[in-house]
């Protein structure tokens, strides 16, 4: 049985080595097949081209940052102008309210003066008709109107 065992062991070793060789050959064939079916059409970028692209992108980034800073400054200017405009609108609204009040007061005074003038004219016309004189009618008394210290213009 010694000879039979040696033969059997030899056959097993030859079988294992053969299996390993067949496995290695199939792996090499698969690698060759994959390489043949998917060749590199475009070579990878070189370090110099990557460095140049990085420099271009950095320059573009700096330009965009400068534009962004300009936009921020413009927005700050517009915000300031908007605040000034809001303040002016508020002031103008207050002035308009004061002018409306003055106009209402002046309208009331004018109505009072017109009534007084109408009464004076009626009285003058009545005295002319009643007295029969040829004298010119007297002027109605004048009333000074206070305009709040403001001048025209």
pTM: predicted TM-score of the whole model, two decimal places: 0.41
Binned at pLDDT 50, 70 and 90, residue 46 comes out as confident
How many Cβ atoms from other residues are within 10 Å of residue 73's Cβ? 10
Tokens read off for 135: 């004298």
Binned at pLDDT 50, 70 and 90, residue 149 comes out as low
Residue 131 has pLDDT above 70, yes or no: no
> Greatest CA span in the chain, whole angstroms?
177
Identify the H or E element spanning 5.
Answer: helix 2-37
Residue, of 107 and 138, whose pLDDT is higher: 107
């Amino acid at each position: 049985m010694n000879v039979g065992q040696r033969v059997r062991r030899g056959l097993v070793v030859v079988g294992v080595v053969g299996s390993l060789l067949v496995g290695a050959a199939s792996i090499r064939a698969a690698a060759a097949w994959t390489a043949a079916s998917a060749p590199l059409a475009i070579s990878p970028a070189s370090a110099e081209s990557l460095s140049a692209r990085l420099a271009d992108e950095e320059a573009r980034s700096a330009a965009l940052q400068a534009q962004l800073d300009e936009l921020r400054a413009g927005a700050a200017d517009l915000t300031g102008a908007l605040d000034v405009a809001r303040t002016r609108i508020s002031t103008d609204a207050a002035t308009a309210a004061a002018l409306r009040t003055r106009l209402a007061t002046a309208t009331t005074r004018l109505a009072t003066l017109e009534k007084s003038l109408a009464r004076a004219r009626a009285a003058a016309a009545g005295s002319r008709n009643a007295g029969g004189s040829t004298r010119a009618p007297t002027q109605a008394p004048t009333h000074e109107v206070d305009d709040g210290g403001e001048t025209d213009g």
